[in-house]
Amino acid sequence: MSSEEATAQQSQSLVGLLAALESIGPAAQEAIAQAADAKALEDLRIEYLGKKGKLSELNQRMGALDAREKPIAGKALNLNKNAITDLLRQRQESLSARELDARLATEAVDVTLPGIRPQRGALHPIALMTREITSIFRSMGFQVESGPEIETEYMNFDSLNIPREHPARDMQDSLFVDRGYVLRTHTSPTQIRTYLKMKPPFAVITTGKVYRHDSDATHSPMFHQMEGFAVGEDISFGHLKNVLYEFLRALYGKDVKVQFRPSFFPFTEPSAEVDVWSEARGCWLEVLGSGMIHPNVLRNGGIDPEKYSGFAFGLGIDRLAMLKYGISDLRLLFENDLRFLRQF
Ligand code: DAH
């Protein structure tokens, strides 16, 4: 038998297979012990246990063995396979532990460092003012209603006794949306909407955005108004004065100085403007318009002016907020600069 024939024969034999296994074991052990990371371990797993790995190769050689030898070879192969699997797992565990130690050492968290404060929002000064006004009137028994910002020309003007030639209708003041529709120029049309759906007696306030073609330090094309009105039998100017005094005391303190000044509005008769004394500026500041609801307005709302009377008043919320918080430029309220807003 030539030596080549001998090797060929041996590679087919049980002895040859066992010998090959014997050299694989220590080699695998050595390589696994030296694997530096998970990637190297995975390569070794493929090299030894993979479908085309060293053990599979030997497994295929089992086919040439006879029936008596097969179980012996199979057992030896399995023992090796399990041993290598165990070695791989152990190495993997010790690598992970070492990695964790290394991470813990470098990524140490200093729990005594000050935290990062979450940013908190706050109510806008207009919202604060609206809430304060609303709660004062609620405490006096007024209920809250609302109206649309796009109004019919009829509701915004005609129904409120504002004649066609009134300057408020001028294209320069009003923002028309479409024929017959305007962005409401005041909250007064909510009076008519309420009259048409409620039966006196009632006391109502409404707040919201209004629009005018106007823009400078004290005027904005969009601003906020509040409208109040009360209708019932025997409602008098005395009731109006009392309600407004109480309101201004609640808002500016009980020592507030208030004056009623005769004025004109198409929807009230008689009408008065109300001023508050400003100690800081040494002058009277106009804060609202008011009056007894004009009989035509009641009639347009389906209320009989022979039977019922009422008072109404309107004020600018932005203006009140400027006075209360000492804001000099109205535009600050609409720029949403956080440095400004954070002060409230
Ligand atoms: N609607 C008026 C305006 O926008 C404000 C106003 C004045 C409302 C007198 C009233 C009132 O109810 O009686 O300038």
69 near 94, Cβ under 8 Å?
no
3-state helix, strand, coil in the chain (%, to 5): 50, 20, 30
Give nearest CA residue, ligand 1 atom 12: 313
Query: Of 189, 186, 151, 162, nearest to 267 (Cα)?
Result: 162
Average pLDDT over residues 98-117: 87
CATH value of 125-341 in 3.40.50.300, 3.40.50.2020, 3.90.226.10, 3.30.930.10: 3.30.930.10
Q: Closest ligand 1 atom to the C-alpha of 228?
A: 12
> In which residue are the tokens 């005041």 written?
186
Give nearest CA residue, ligand 1 atom 13: 290
Domain ranges of the chain: 3-106, 125-341
Query: Of 341, 302, 304, 337, nearest to 321 (Cα)?
Result: 341
Q: What is the distance in A from the centroid of ligand 1 to the CA of 101?
A: 75
Q: Which residues line ligand 1 (CB under 6 A)?
A: 186, 188, 227, 265, 268, 289-291, 312-314
Q: What is the distance in A from the centroid of ligand 1 to the CA of 9?
A: 114
List, edge to edge, every strand of the sheet that includes 181-183: 150-152, 181-183, 176-178
Q: What is the distance in A from the centroid of ligand 1 to the CA of 36?
A: 83
Q: What is the pTM of this model?
A: 0.68
Residue 213, pLDDT > 80, answer yes
- Residue 107 is predicted with a pLDDT of 86
The CA distances from residue 197 to 83, 159, 189, in Å, are 90, 15, 13
Give nearest CA residue, ligand 1 atom 3: 186
3-state DSSP assignment of residue 163: coil
Report pLDDT digits (tens) over 126-179.
Answer: 999 999 999 999 999 999 999 999 999 999 999 999 988 888 777 668 899 988
Confidence of residue 336 (pLDDT cuts 50, 70, 90): confident
